[in-house]
């Protein structure tokens, strides 16, 4: 990939014909497409707002419709559970056994009464009665498969009876999908309440209506509605189980619906709706049985036709623009060819092809460029001849420079001879000082402006200060503290020499006490090398301190000292992010240099 991108740039991006194509793309194609996308976004927002209002109205109508259906069911439940004749039969039911003749008589009486009340409601699959003593009676309409209802009632009648007898309100539930009696082809839900004989003011038992959700589902998810293809309304009880839905998921938990895994059911609010992924989800409470109606709108499905229309329009505009760009490219071909011809001639010109020239001139403004190019090549050929002469002179100068390098070798050899003679004459002090002087000169002369190990620089400073100490007859002492813990650190040569010279010449001049020089090297914060030079000299005036700090900070100051000015420029050149600070008092001066470790070679 690293090689492929430069190849693409060299062969395509930097060629004028492709640059013109890119230019046309940005000034024509991109703005038009951007406007279309902006138009689509704003239109989608407007349609979303209007559709949202229409969906809210539709949801309100659905709420009214389902409330009417539930009212009918609740009325039937109340009518049966409070009828005096029915209550008398239930009271008698609690006194007989299911296999007695009296039970059969009571059952026939209940069946006649129940048929009269639920005949007009074919969705009611079964009506079950349980007396306070637990004697059951079940009436089943034989329009669909009802055996699962009978099995469910027989298995759960005691639990259902206890639940209804202990509740003062009507309840709603369903045969959930975890039950062995769940029939996914014919799901049912049930309504129930306890029965009361109001003349005797006595609870006689409980009653259950097992109802098919098809009628309620038609009321909330009408297939003839225009919103049916992209909406799904769910009727949910207080436990989070479905009573009815478009996909006949009665009895299932909301979280188990595979189609709506992206919806966070716990975060639903009873306001205008929440956008969750591609779904607009809202819920409203119903008047009966603590039910909620949840409305799910598949917004992507709802806007599919609009997106297809906008995609077609965008593709048509793109095709028109691309054809326009192609026509413009063809019309500019001759102009582009002339420019590429000039570029090819320029690329061909080198020291082996000095006779390049453009012969077939254009008839437009490019002719000026082509003529200038020919003149430029002539001037370059003349300059190349001059460079050959200059090269000969440079070679001669380098030979002379090599000859001059003999002089330092002669100097060092002479110093070594004098040092050896002094040692033979027992002048050991002179011999030692000459050795230090030779080491100082070698360190200074060879490889100027190069980096050396910090330990070599410290050794040079020791030799330098020992000679100065001898020169000033022991009027000062020094200490060098290397606190870098033996790390291999490289710095530029003679970096601290101006600070040492400043202390010796200016700090200790006319000093009534013995001078003291402290030099420290340490690493601070694992990120900077700190070089510190401190003396107990007479100090620097405050105005000079401000000028020196300004010089170290900005590089511009009224300070005229050559040594410190030189070190300011050198340090900035070697280490761009280094910092130098000076502080002074009548009792001494301290210079601190902070050098980033990542800028040291």
CATH of the domain at 526: 3.30.565.10
Q: Is residue 176 part of a domain?
A: yes
User: Residue 289 contacts by C-beta under 8 Å, 6 or more apart in sequence?
Assistant: 70, 74, 170, 171, 172, 191, 237
Contact by Cβ (8 Å): 126, 210: yes
Contact by Cβ (8 Å): 484, 476: no
Question: Residue 571 — φ and ψ, nearest 5°?
Answer: -65, -40
Q: Which is nearest to 251 in space by CA: 233, 237, 264, 268? A: 237
CB atoms within 10 A of CB 126: 21
Cα gap 294→297, rounded to integer Å: 10
172 & 126 share domain: yes
128 & 168 share domain: yes
Cα gap 145→143, rounded to integer Å: 7
521 & 560 share domain: yes
**DSSP codes of every residue in 223-283:** TTSTTGGGEEEEEE-TTSBEEE-TT--TT-BGGG-GGGTT--GGG--SSS-EEETTEEEEE
Q: Which of 445, 472, 504 is the last residue of a domain?
A: 445
Contact by Cβ (8 Å): 299, 278: yes
Cα gap 452→439, rounded to integer Å: 14
**Three-state SS at 183:** coil
Contact by Cβ (8 Å): 67, 292: no
Cα gap 556→423, rounded to integer Å: 50
**Three-state SS at 199:** coil
With the CA atoms of 154, 159, 162 and 165 taken in that order, what torsion angle do they form, in degrees rounded to the nearest 10?
-60
Q: Is residue 561 part of a domain?
A: yes
122 & 201 share domain: yes
Cα gap 328→301, rounded to integer Å: 40
Range of the domain at 172: 82-210
Q: Is residue 299 part of a domain?
A: no
Q: Which of 210, 239, 273 is the last residue of a domain?
A: 210
HSE (side-chain half, CA atoms, 13 Å) at 173: 17
Q: Is residue 47 part of a domain?
A: no
Q: Which is nearest to 281 in space by CA: 55, 460, 482, 2? A: 55
pLDDT at 416: 60
User: Residue 44 contacts by C-beta under 8 Å, 6 or more apart in sequence?
Assistant: 303, 306
Contact by Cβ (8 Å): 243, 255: no
Q: Is residue 413 part of a domain?
A: yes
With the CA atoms of 63, 64, 65 and 67 taken in that order, what torsion angle do they form, in degrees rounded to the nearest 10?
80
Cα gap 175→210, rounded to integer Å: 9
By CB atoms closer than 10 A (0-12, 13-18, 19+), residue 61 is exposed
Contact by Cβ (8 Å): 518, 479: yes
585 & 467 share domain: yes
Q: Is residue 291 part of a domain?
A: no
- Residue the block writes with tokens 């070089």: 531
Cα gap 448→382, rounded to integer Å: 38
Residue 488, phi-psi category: left (phi > 0), alpha (psi -120 to 50), beta (remainder): beta
478 & 417 share domain: no
Q: Is residue 55 part of a domain?
A: no
434 & 536 share domain: no
459 & 430 share domain: no
CATH of the domain at 96: 3.30.450.20
Q: Rg (Cα) of the chain, in Å, rounded?
A: 51
436 & 540 share domain: no
10-residue mean pLDDT profile of the chain (601 residues): values are 57 61 71 77 74 71 82 84 82 83 84 80 86 86 75 87 85 85 85 84 86 84 80 84 82 81 75 72 82 82 77 81 74 67 68 66 65 76 75 56 49 60 65 69 66 85 83 84 83 83 81 88 87 89 85 76 78 84 88 87 59
516 & 419 share domain: no
Cα gap 563→579, rounded to integer Å: 17
205 & 139 share domain: yes
- Residue the block writes with tokens 């039969």: 89
Contact by Cβ (8 Å): 362, 338: yes
Q: Is residue 226 part of a domain?
A: no
Number of domains in the chain: 4
The DSSP secondary-structure symbol of 100 reads S
**DSSP codes of every residue in 394-420:** HHHHHHHHHHHTHHHHHHHHHHHHHHH
Alpha-carbon distances of 538 from 480, 514, 542, rounded to whole Å: 21, 11, 12
438 & 471 share domain: no
Q: Which is nearest to 307 in space by CA: 500, 47, 19? A: 47
Cα gap 420→414, rounded to integer Å: 10
**Three-state SS at 133:** coil
Q: Which of 184, 210, 236 is the last residue of a domain?
A: 210
Cα gap 156→180, rounded to integer Å: 12
Contact by Cβ (8 Å): 533, 519: yes
């Amino acid at each position: 990939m690293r090689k492929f991108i430069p190849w693409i740039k060299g062969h395509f991006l930097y060629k004028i014909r492709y640059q013109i194509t890119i230019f046309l793309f940005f000034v024509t194609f991109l703005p038009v497409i951007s406007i279309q996308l902006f138009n689509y976004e704003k239109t989608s927002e407007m349609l979303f707002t209007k559709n949202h209002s229409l969906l809210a109205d539709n949801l309100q109508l659905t709420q009214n419709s389902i409330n009417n259906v539930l009212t009918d069911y609740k009325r039937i439940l109340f009518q049966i559970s409070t009828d005096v004749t029915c209550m008398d039969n239930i009271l008698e039911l609690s006194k007989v056994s299911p296999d007695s003749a009296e039970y059969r008589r009571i059952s026939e009486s209940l069946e006649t009464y129940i048929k009269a009340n639920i005949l007009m409601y074919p969705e009611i699959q079964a009506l079950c009665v349980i007396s306070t003593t637990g004697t059951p009676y079940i009436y089943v309409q034989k329009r669909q498969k009802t055996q699962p209802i009978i099995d469910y009632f027989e298995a759960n009648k005691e639990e259902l009876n206890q639940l209804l007898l202990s509740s003062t309100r009507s309840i709603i539930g369903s045969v959930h999908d975890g039950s062995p009696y769940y029939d996914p082809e014919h799901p049912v839900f049930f309504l129930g309440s306890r029965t009361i004989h109001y003349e005797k003011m006595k609870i006689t038992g409980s009653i259950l209506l097992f109802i098919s959700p098809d009628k309620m589902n038609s009321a909330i998810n009408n297939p003839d509605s225009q919103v049916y293809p992209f909406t799904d309304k769910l009727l949910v009880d207080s436990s989070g189980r479905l009573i009815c839905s478009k996909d006949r998921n009665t009895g299932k938990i909301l979280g188990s619906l595979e189609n709506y895994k992206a919806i966070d059911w716990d975060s639903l609010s009873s306001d205008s709706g929440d956008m969750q992924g591609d779904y607009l989800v809202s819920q409203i409470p119903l008047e009966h049985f603590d039910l909620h109606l949840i409305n799910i709108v598949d917004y992507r499905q709802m806007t599919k036709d609009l997106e297809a229309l906008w995609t077609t329009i965008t593709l048509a505009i793109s095709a028109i623009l691309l054809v326009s760009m192609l026509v413009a490219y063809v019309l500019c071909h001759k102009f582009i060819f002339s420019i590429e011809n000039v570029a090819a001639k320029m690329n061909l010109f080198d020291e082996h092809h000095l006779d390049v020239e453009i012969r077939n001139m254009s008839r437009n403004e490019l002719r000026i460029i082509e003529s200038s190019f020919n003149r430029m090549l002539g001037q370059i050929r003349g300059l190349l001849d001059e460079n050959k002469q200059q090269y000969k002179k440079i070679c001669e100068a380098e030979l002379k420079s090599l000859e001059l390098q003999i002089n330092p070798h002669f100097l060092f050899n002479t110093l070594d001879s004098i040092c050896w003679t002094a040692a033979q004459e027992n002048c050991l002090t002179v011999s030692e000082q000459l050795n230090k002087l030779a080491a100082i000169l070698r360190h200074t002369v060879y490889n100027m402006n190069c980096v050396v190990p910090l330990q070599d620089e410290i050794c040079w400073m020791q030799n330098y200060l020992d000679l100065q100490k001898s020169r000033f007859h022991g009027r000062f002492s020094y200490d060098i503290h290397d606190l870098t813990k033996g790390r291999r650190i490289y710095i530029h040569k003679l970096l601290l020499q101006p600070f040492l010279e400043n202390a010796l010449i200016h700090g200790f001049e006319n000093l009534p006490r013995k001078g003291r020089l402290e030099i420290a090297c340490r690493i601070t914060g694992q990120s900077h090398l700190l070089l510190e030079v401190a003396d107990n000299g007479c100090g620097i005036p405050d105005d000079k301190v401000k000028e020196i700090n300004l010089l170290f900070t900005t590089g511009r100051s009224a300070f005229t000292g050559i040594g410190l000015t030189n070190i300011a420029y050198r340090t900035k050149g070697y280490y761009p992010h280094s910092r130098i600070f000076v502080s002074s008092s009548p009792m001494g001066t301290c210079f601190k240099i902070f050098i980033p470790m990542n800028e040291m070679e």
